[in-house]
Amino acid sequence: MKTLLYATDFSKKSVAALRFAHALSQELQAKLVVLHVFELPITLASTVSTTYSRREVRAFAEHRERLLAFCAEHLEHLSEDQNITYQIDEGKPIHEIITKNAIETKADLVVVGTKGGNRLRESLLGSTTTALISTSHCPVLAVPNDADFQGIDKMVYATDFEGTDIFTIEKMIRLVEPLEAELHLVHISSRDTNTSEDQMKWFQDMLRHKVDYDNIQFDLRYGKNVFETLRSYIDEIAPDMVVMLEREGYSLIKDLSHRDLVKRMNSQSQVPLLSFHKKNFIEQHIL
């Protein structure tokens, strides 16, 4: 990974994500783009005039100063020689502006906090993060407000033995390999059957042909409640990051959609959650 983009609304609950993104970028020796998106007042934005242009320029300058002060306050030993770019943009919806900036900066990863603090804008946990995962060309990392970067030694990925899972894992290796992290692949099955074991064996063989990375563990877990079983597994493994694939219109089991699972993991897990979206792999494959 060469470029990470971190988006902030200046809320206290985005501070942990800033520190996490900064530490991860240093670990990966990657460029960090720090972005703040704001909205101009309707009365201001609707007036096409010299006065409007001056106010717009002033608004950008003021938000840039706030962004620089925010980073200086919350990042220790920040120096000018660090590979950080500060970026201000205006518009809505916010997730589309973040996505636009991620494309323009060729970001490999977007980092956000799990909650925002401004009721005028969408919070980064709710609809904005969900929409961002759907529109972003790259994975989105949601960092809880109490997360503390201590390195990435273990990652957990919940697989459903799909071909898209293999594409996701191939992408993950770009993050995992430089960190030399353990990758734990787990499948949650509602019933203890030979079918699940056969599927796991097939998946292992397919993955070995596609991915050249030895530090991978494969696990099966059985339980009627997918979320609780996965939560128990995460508690057991104690990973530094959980990775999930957002699947539209698909279910791990009949009574719990994967979309709901991602949302529940996002809201309840204290571990950073890295989300990919299946449709982006399909689009990239078609292109």
Pick the CATH number of 154-286 from 2.30.40.10, 3.65.10.10, 3.20.20.70, 3.40.50.620: 3.40.50.620
CB contact at 8 A, 59 and 40: yes
The CATH 3.40.50.620 domain(s) of the chain lie at 3-143, 154-286
Model pTM? 0.84
Q: What is the pLDDT of residues 229-271, one digit of tens each?
A: 888 899 899 999 999 887 655 434 333 445 555 555 655 557 8
| CATH architecture of the domain formed by 3-143 | 3-Layer(aba) Sandwich (3.40)
Q: What is the pLDDT of residues 9-64, one digit of tens each?
A: 998 889 999 999 999 999 999 999 999 999 876 655 555 555 657 778 888 999 99
